[in-house]
Amino acid sequence: MATPVSDDVATKANAIKEEANVLFANKKYEEAIGKYTEAIELNPNVAAYYANRAFAHTKLEAYGAAILDGDKAVEVDPKYAKGYYRRGVGKYALARYKEAAKDFRVVVKIAPNDKDAKLKLDHCEKTVTRMAFEKAIASNEVIKKVSDSIDTQSIIVEDSYDGVRIDDGKITKEFVDDMIERFVGQKKIHRRYAYEIILQVRKYFLEQPSLVDVEIADDSKLTICGDVHGQFYDFVNIFKLNGRPSEKHTYLFNGDFVDRGTFSLEIILTLFAYKLLYPTGMYLTRGNHETDDMNKVYGFEDEVKAKFSETMFKIFSETFATLPLAHLVQKKIFVVHGGLSSRDDVTLEEIRNIDRIGKGQPGQGGLMSELLWADPQPQPGRSPSVRGVGQRFGPDVTENFCKMNDLDMIIRSHEVKQEGYHVEHNGRCVTIFSAPNYCDTVGNKGAYINVTPDKQTKLKLDYVQFDAVEHPKTQSYSNRFQGGF
């Protein structure tokens, strides 16, 4: 039942909604959400207010909140197509394809000329069908790893290939330098060498625990980077500003290497090659985007298929499942992509022993998923995540985890920050984000942290900000859902 409001209140609410629309157009999404909320509090009877707020939530990747606003929009007006549309986009973003298809089906029924909704519905239905087929196959036979079926020695490198070659399977600095230059020039490496890099790094990570120790020598430094999300030219700029990985300069990239940007393949091959070149000079944490669900939605799967093949994507998937879930720097700094668990009794040893390889995909619940998806909150305790997966944790949760495990602090990524980094929870929780002007729209700075040993303070942390650089304009590999995301 609608809540009665006067004409004056309705007019005022509409004016506030228009203010919110201006903020949204200027990419000030958090402020826009605040204004839409004001409009809703004055007049909760307008479905468009909820749908507009849902759209702003999707811009901030708060898909759980977008779904809830979609629920409210269709509750207020069951014939409001955009309410179903926004809810469907939120569900698709969380890989809930069957539920998303139901919403897009309603949109098509209400607005039969909506080509975008038809496209989304078609893709959802095909995805559901394919997943059901794959599940049926998996239940009837033991699925062999695609990684085990590739014989790189049988792949011929043509004489016309003009890049540096890998001899006897050994990655050299000359090869990595040449590969980066090829990528800058938008050229590929030969598929044989791409396969060799992925398969070698997978073999390496298969032998690693889920929590990896990182030590910094007295004459060395460690650089911790957050999400880079396929922004290859900004990624390379980090090395220009801060120096390339070496035996004396270690890097730790904290997840979300791929998706969103259009040069994810170039980033992940570079990171993998550096890991092989300098095993203790490059560390990689798995992020929530090094997963099948996210790769199907946000472009990495389509990018790899376009640049190489479906087989190569499958091998990437199998390799992502081997990536460590967290790192422990000098036994004092816990580095993880998302954050802390919904439980208070989680120890470092439990994290170290997670069977990440046996599990493969993290799913949407449990410790492994929480490490990849959780976010901090300013208030004490825990609360449901606006993302729709994982949960939020307060300063008391961080404090308890650090005390129980004898840690100084945690460093995590997973969230865009306007200044590139954010310190909270009394200095015990730091977010680092390394994709400046995220998705070419947000206007944020990127940042990284240089960590060096210091005899007095044990570890010294220097925060370095940087701006986005120019890059080739290419079409997004996830553009089929660009309208909803």
Tell me, letter by letter, the H, E, C secondary structure of the chain.
CCCCCCHHHHHHHHHHHHHHHHHHHCCCHHHHHHHHHHHHHHCCCCHHHHHHHHHHHHHCCCHHHHHHHHHHHHHHCCCCHHHHHHHHHHHHHCCCHHHHHHHHHHHHHHCCCCHHHHHHHHHHHHHHHHHHHHHHHHHHCCCCCHHHHCCHHHCCCCCCCCCCCCECCECCHHHHHHHHHHHHCCCCCCHHHHHHHHHHHHHHHHCCCCEEEECCCCCCEEEEECECCCCHHHHHHHHHHHCCCCCCEEEEECCCCCCCCCCHHHHHHHHHHHHHHCCCCEEECCCCCCCHHHHHHHCHHHHHHHHCCHHHHHHHHHHHCCCCCEEEECCCEEEECCCCCCCCCCCHHHHHCCCHHHHCCCCCCCHHHHHHHCEECCCCCEEECCCCCCEEECHHHHHHHHHHCCCCEEEECCCCCCCCEEEECCCCEEEEECCCCHHHCCCCCEEEEEEEEECCCEEEEEEEEECCCCCCCCCCCCHHHCCCC
Which residue of the set 289, 327, 337, 414 is catalytic?
A: 289
57 counts as catalytic: no
| Separation of alpha carbons 389 and 125, rounded Å | 23
Burial class (CB in 10 A: 0-12, 13-18, 19+), 416: buried
pLDDT recorded at residue 131: 79
Fold match, 7-137 / 157-481: no
What angle (nearest 5°) sits at the alpha carbon of residue 346, between those of residues 406 and 271? 80
Residue 83 CB contacts under 8 Å (≥ 6 apart), including other chains: 47, 50, 51, 54, 70, 72, 73, 74, 76, 77
Q: Name the amino acid, one letter, at 430.
A: V
Q: What are the backbone dihedrals phi and psi of residue 112, each rounded to the nearest 5 degrees, phi first?
A: -60, -15
Domain range list for the chain: 7-137, 157-481
Going 268 to 274 to 276 to 281, the CA torsion angle's sign is negative
pLDDT recorded at residue 476: 81
pLDDT recorded at residue 483: 43
Distance of CA 151 to the CA centre of its chain: 31
Flag residues of the chain having pLDDT under 50: 479-485
| Separation of alpha carbons 350 and 368, rounded Å | 11
Q: Give the global pTM.
A: 0.90
Using CA atoms, how far residue 224 sits from 238, 337, 348, 461, in Å, is 11, 11, 20, 10
Residue 423 CB contacts under 8 Å (≥ 6 apart), including other chains: 429, 430
| Separation of alpha carbons 390 and 422, rounded Å | 20
pLDDT recorded at residue 102: 96
Does 3.50.50.60 match the CATH number of domain 157-481?
no
The structure tokens 């792949």 sit at 155
Q: Pairing state of beta strands 421-424 and 429-432?
A: antiparallel
Q: What are the backbone dihedrals phi and psi of residue 421, each rounded to the nearest 5 degrees, phi first?
A: -155, 165
Q: Pairing state of beta strands 333-336 and 326-329?
A: antiparallel
pLDDT recorded at residue 441: 87
Expressed in angstroms, the distance from the first to the final Cα of the chain is 31
pLDDT recorded at residue 347: 97
Copy the structure tokens of residue 421. 């980094």
Cα R_g (the chain), whole angstroms? 23
Class of the CATH domain delimited by 7-137 = mainly alpha
